[in-house]
Amino acid sequence: MSAPVLRLEGVRKAFRQGGWWQRRTVQAVADVSLSVMPGETLALVGESGSGKSTVARLALRLLAPDAGRIWWGEREVSGLSARALRPLRRHVQMVFQDPYASLNPRMRIGEAVGEGLLIHEPGLSRAERRRRVAAMLEEVGIPADAHDRYPHEFSGGQRQRIGIARALILRPRVLVLDEPTSALDVSVQAQIIALLLRLQREHGIGYLFITHDLALVRWVAARVAVMFAGRIVEEAPVEALFAAPRHPYTEALLLAQPAAHPRARREETVPAAEAPPADQGCPFAPRCPHAREDCRRQMPPFIEEGARRFACWHPRP
């Protein structure tokens, strides 16, 4: 069996907020463990502020974890310095949410896409680098004459294709995709997702796909991890999770999806009103209609059920 291309184990990250007179520590990510296999898409979902983007930055080692371990393939990178990480970064790349903000408006497309080659393959000649960039642009559906043009000359969908080309030019083993289609029109979203799926089939890349769009998750992912208040509360194969969520928060997320017809809506058992996560016990307890005294007193451990795991004292049947 092949090893994961990305693995996090017990990762924690806290941030300090406020001035020196009123400083407090906020736990953004707590004990997160996940893995991505070659050619697999793991979707990471949850409401805004749940810690998804912080997990992405930790996975890319743009942030150093306070505790826990991170592997890129078989290499642990948790405590490596920026200098030691630099030659390894070609194996883990990112596609950003905003395709315009992620491109330097003063840099030609060929320079932006080929920048990674300058860093990681400095021995390439200019002609060879240009050939590699042209081939990569063609692979993502951008014409070769784009090489000497600027980002403002392209549409949003084209710019995202360019961002994908820039991420793939070094042939990484895993891509971290942070809401890669949310800034695009619906029809363009479908084209970008189809492109990502084709590239994954052809190159065997693993995807950590961060999104709030559960309909999209069902289309692109094999497994899904659900985050709430900095913790993964449930992880399961996509179809199993959609058919029978075990954690009340997962159930709430699925109930919040628009239904094609009123008759298709399930009876809502989780209140829509928000409440701050609990500091003690299960963080979801203040919002959970099934919470009991043990939920408020102690953090639930993970329960393993085959390929599924969830952290709940009183899971849904």
pLDDT one-digit tens code per residue, 77-106: 998 999 999 999 999 999 988 888 889 999
Residues 141 and 253 in one domain: no
Residues 136 and 265 in one domain: no
Residues 238 and 252 in one domain: no
Q: How many residues does the chain have?
A: 317
Q: Using one digit for the tens of pLDDT, what is the confidence trace for 182-221?
A: 878 888 889 999 999 999 999 999 999 999 888 889 889 9
Residues 51 and 10 in one domain: yes
Residues 231 and 109 in one domain: yes
pLDDT score, position 102: 85
Q: How far is 305 from 317, CA to CA, in rounded Å? A: 13
Is residue 224 situated within a structural domain?
Answer: yes
Is residue 210 situated within a structural domain?
Answer: yes
- Domain that residue 15 falls in: 6-243
pLDDT score, position 214: 86
Domain final residue, candidates 204, 220, 243: 243
Could you report the average pLDDT of every consecutive run of 10 residues in the chain (317 residues)? 90 84 82 95 92 94 95 93 93 90 91 93 93 94 90 92 94 93 84 94 95 88 94 95 93 78 56 70 88 89 91 89
Q: How far is 239 from 209, CA to CA, in rounded Å? A: 17
Number of separate domains in the chain: 2
Is residue 28 situated within a structural domain?
Answer: yes
Q: Are 303 and 311 in contact (CB under 8 A)?
A: yes
Residues 220 and 199 in one domain: yes
Q: How far is 39 from 174, CA to CA, in rounded Å? A: 9
pLDDT score, position 144: 78
Residues 145 and 235 in one domain: yes
Residues 233 and 315 in one domain: no
pLDDT score, position 263: 60
Domain final residue, candidates 243, 261, 295: 243
pLDDT score, position 272: 46
pLDDT score, position 121: 92
pLDDT score, position 255: 85
Q: Are 36 and 5 in contact (CB under 8 A)?
A: yes
Residues 29 and 137 in one domain: yes
Is residue 26 situated within a structural domain?
Answer: yes
Is residue 227 situated within a structural domain?
Answer: yes
Is residue 221 situated within a structural domain?
Answer: yes
Query: Strand 67-72's sheet: what is its strand order?
Result: 24-36, 6-17, 67-72, 75-76
The DSSP string of 105-174 is TTS-HHHHHHHHHHHH-TTS-HHHHHHHHHHHHHHTT--GGGGG--GGGS-HHHHHHHHHHHHHTT--SE
Q: How far is 38 from 215, CA to CA, in rounded Å? A: 23
Q: How far is 120 from 104, CA to CA, in rounded Å? A: 20
Residues 226 and 275 in one domain: no
Query: Strand 174-178's sheet: what is its strand order?
Result: 92-95, 174-178, 206-210, 41-45, 223-228, 231-237, 308-311, 302-305
Is residue 1 situated within a structural domain?
Answer: no
Residues 237 and 288 in one domain: no
pLDDT score, position 268: 52
Residues 233 and 288 in one domain: no
Is residue 108 situated within a structural domain?
Answer: yes
